[in-house]
């Protein structure tokens, strides 16, 4: 049966512990009632009025004892849950984006074609071919014969106008949900200008930001951790809405625990102040765990003006450094891209002054959850293939 799920958070009226619960809504008839619950912290009974209390459920903070349907029973008259918020996803993030009409991260060495635009056109054209292959694998996985991949990878072949052959690598999180071609993010295009040459020089603030947004999408797939080290976002006394827009553009590019931020205390405070101005008191949002994890776990560094952006794994690092803060505008900034083949070496050169972790087993805990992806390569007629993470770099050549 089709239904809608509405997500809520509230607080116990007795001890203020946060309680999360989901309410199920049907398209035609809905029962009016309440869930009678026991707070997991103080043990007091409370009432959560809601539609369809039988089907609705508690996620955390309390235990559901029984339900009351107002069609047959009187209300309990217990003290009701306090400070309810309805939410749908992360209020500070949009879906990750990749704008192929802005400055390119991947460029052909011999022609001026917009390879990123062509790659997106090609994945749209070939969607039905690889989508059916993904659905076939999903059926196998649901039956228990899959291999617990972290991402779906799709490799698409195409040529540009000069005849150079390219392979575009797209990805999305693996799950059993429906999907569209727009859900896939561009992580690489082969046979292109080396990033050492592409990202080396002077760019506008706006172009620097676009390069950073695109490479975070790449790093989200390729690396175990992404660090963004910068002193400022926007300009001094930027309006709250513009400050939040810049933060949102960056935070939206990473949708996993991989992202870590190092910045000044005043920059974090300006974010919190902007949130309070545009949304709701930051402390209230923080209490209900609505604030971005990358902000709440940010490392404060008051004495640095360094701008270092990097994706790191134990044996491979890509970094961008230069003069660019997180900002937009026509003024010039300098960016330089560089690769390292030892995290320890890179840490010693760049990260040690910021007290960032050096111990690999502590730094890269995500390796223990998923060790592979599932690849659908056009060269193999989009038949599924298990790809270990350590093999991923072969697709980036």
- Other C-beta atoms closer than 10 Å to the C-beta of 60 total 12
Q: What is the pLDDT of residue 360?
A: 47
213, 250 contact by CB (below 8 A):
yes
User: Which positions ≥6 away from 202 have C-beta within 8 Å?
Assistant: 332, 333, 334
Question: Would you say residue 368 has pLDDT above 70?
Answer: no
CB-side neighbour CA atoms (13 Å) of 189: 29
Same domain, 121 and 170: yes
Same domain, 18 and 162: no
More confident residue, 367 or 391: 391
Chain center to CA of 359: 24
Q: What is the pLDDT of residue 357?
A: 62
Q: What is the pLDDT of residue 363?
A: 58
Task: Identify which of 248, 218, 253, 246 has the alpha carbon closest to the alpha carbon of residue 232.
Answer: 246
Same domain, 30 and 121: no
Q: What is the pLDDT of residue 372?
A: 93
Q: How far, in Å, CA of 395 to CA of 375, rounded?
A: 11
Classify residue 206: in a domain, yes or no.
Answer: yes
Classify residue 94: in a domain, yes or no.
Answer: no
Q: How far, in Å, CA of 28 to CA of 31, rounded?
A: 10
Per-residue pLDDT band for 370 (boundaries 50, 70, 90) equals confident
Classify residue 98: in a domain, yes or no.
Answer: no
User: Which positions ≥6 away from 176 have C-beta within 8 Å?
Assistant: 138, 141, 142
Each residue's pLDDT tens digit, 138-186: 999 999 999 999 999 999 999 999 999 999 999 999 999 889 999 999 9
User: What's the number of domains the chain is made of?
Assistant: 2
Same domain, 48 and 124: no
Question: Would you say residue 207 has pLDDT above 80?
Answer: yes
Task: Identify which of 335, 338, 339 has the alpha carbon closest to the alpha carbon of residue 211.
Answer: 335
Task: Identify which of 295, 322, 319, 317 has the alpha carbon closest to the alpha carbon of residue 307.
Answer: 322
- Crossing angle, helix 240-251 and helix 205-222, to 10 degrees? 30
Same domain, 71 and 142: no
Residue 243 sits at φ, ψ, to 5 deg, of -60, -45
Each residue's pLDDT tens digit, 63-103: 999 999 999 999 999 999 998 899 887 888 888 999 999 99
Q: Is 260 helix (H, G, I), strand (E, B) or coil?
A: strand
Q: Look up residue 215 and give its DSSP letter.
A: H
CB-side neighbour CA atoms (13 Å) of 214: 21
How confident is the prediction for the chain on average, in pLDDT?
Answer: 92
- Other C-beta atoms closer than 10 Å to the C-beta of 200 total 15
Same domain, 71 and 156: no
Q: How far, in Å, CA of 339 to CA of 284, rounded?
A: 42
Classify residue 200: in a domain, yes or no.
Answer: yes
Same domain, 54 and 196: no
Determine what percent of the chain is predicted with pLDDT higher than 90.
Answer: 80
Classify residue 293: in a domain, yes or no.
Answer: yes
Same domain, 11 and 128: no
Classify residue 106: in a domain, yes or no.
Answer: no
DSSP string for 282-331: HHHHHHTT-S-HHHHTPEE-TT----EEEEE-SS-EEEEEES--B--SSS
The residue range of the domain holding 302 is 115-396
Classify residue 121: in a domain, yes or no.
Answer: yes
**Which of 67, 87, 107 is a domain's end point?**
87
Classify residue 107: in a domain, yes or no.
Answer: no
Would you give the end-to-end CA distance of the chain in angstroms? 47
Question: Would you say residue 213 has pLDDT above 80?
Answer: yes
Q: How far is CA 198 from CA 110, 185, 213, 338, in A?
A: 13, 20, 15, 11
Question: Would you say residue 369 has pLDDT above 80?
Answer: no
Same domain, 152 and 275: yes
Q: How far, in Å, CA of 166 to CA of 185, rounded?
A: 17
Question: Would you say residue 205 has pLDDT above 80?
Answer: yes
Name the residue with tokens 């102040």. 273
Beta-strand runs (E) in the chain = 4-11, 18-25, 32-39, 45-51, 57-60, 62-69, 82-87, 151-159, 165-173, 185-189, 200-204, 225-229, 259-263, 299-300, 308-312, 317-322, 332-340, 372-377, 384-388
User: Which positions ≥6 away from 204 have C-beta within 8 Å?
Assistant: 329, 330, 331, 332, 333
Same domain, 159 and 17: no
Same domain, 135 and 217: yes
Q: Is 156 helix (H, G, I), strand (E, B) or coil?
A: strand
Same domain, 119 and 54: no
Q: How far, in Å, CA of 146 to CA of 139, rounded?
A: 9
Each residue's pLDDT tens digit, 266-293: 999 999 999 999 988 999 999 998 999 9
Each residue's pLDDT tens digit, 321-335: 999 999 999 999 999
Residue 356 sits at φ, ψ, to 5 deg, of -85, 150
Each residue's pLDDT tens digit, 25-39: 998 899 999 999 999
């Amino acid at each position: 049966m089709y239904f809608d799920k509405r997500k809520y958070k509230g607080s116990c009226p007795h001890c203020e512990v946060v309680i999360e619960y989901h309410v199920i809504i049907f398209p035609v008839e809905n029962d009016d009632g309440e869930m009678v619950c026991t707070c997991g912290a103080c043990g007091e009974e409370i009432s959560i009025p809601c539609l369809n209390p039988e089907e609705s459920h508690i996620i955390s903070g309390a235990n559901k004892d029984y339900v009351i349907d107002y069609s047959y029973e009187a209300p309990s008259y217990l003290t009701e849950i306090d400070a309810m918020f309805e939410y749908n996803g992360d209020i500070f993030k949009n879906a990750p984006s990749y704008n192929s009409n802005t400055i390119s991260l991947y460029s052909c060495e011999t022609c001026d074609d917009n390879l990123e635009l062509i790659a997106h056109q090609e994945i749209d054209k070939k969607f039905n071919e690889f989508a059916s292959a993904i659905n076939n694998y999903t059926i196998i996985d649901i039956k228990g014969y899959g291999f617990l991949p972290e991402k779906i990878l799709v490799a698409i072949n195409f040529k540009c106008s000069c005849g150079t052959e390219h392979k575009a690598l797209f990805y999305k999180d693996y799950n059993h949900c429906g999907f569209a071609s727009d859900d896939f993010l561009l992580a690489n295009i082969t046979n292109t200008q080396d990033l050492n040459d592409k990202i080396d020089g002077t760019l506008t603030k706006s172009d620097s930001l676009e390069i950073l947004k695109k490479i975070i999408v790449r790093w989200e797939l390729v690396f175990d951790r992404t660090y963004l080290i910068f002193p400022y976002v926007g300009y001094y006394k930027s309006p709250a809405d513009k400050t939040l827009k810049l933060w949102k553009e960056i935070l939206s590019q990473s949708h996993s625990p991989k992202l870590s931020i190092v910045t000044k205390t005043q920059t974090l405070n300006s974010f919190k102040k902007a949130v309070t101005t545009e949304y709701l008191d930051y402390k209230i949002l923080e209490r209900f765990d609505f604030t971005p994890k990358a902000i709440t776990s940010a490392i404060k560094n008051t004495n640095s003006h360094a701008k270092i952006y990097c994706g790191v794994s134990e044996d491979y690092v890509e970094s961008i450094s230069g003069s660019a803060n997180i900002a937009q505008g026509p003024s010039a900034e300098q960016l330089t891209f560089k690769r390292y083949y030892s995290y320890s070496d890179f840490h010693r050169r760049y990260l040690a002054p910021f007290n960032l972790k050096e111990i690999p087993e502590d730094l890269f805990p995500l390796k223990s959850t998923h060790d592979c992806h599932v690849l659908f390569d056009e060269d193999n007629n989009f038949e599924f293939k298990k790809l270990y993470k350590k093999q991923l770099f072969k697709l980036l050549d």
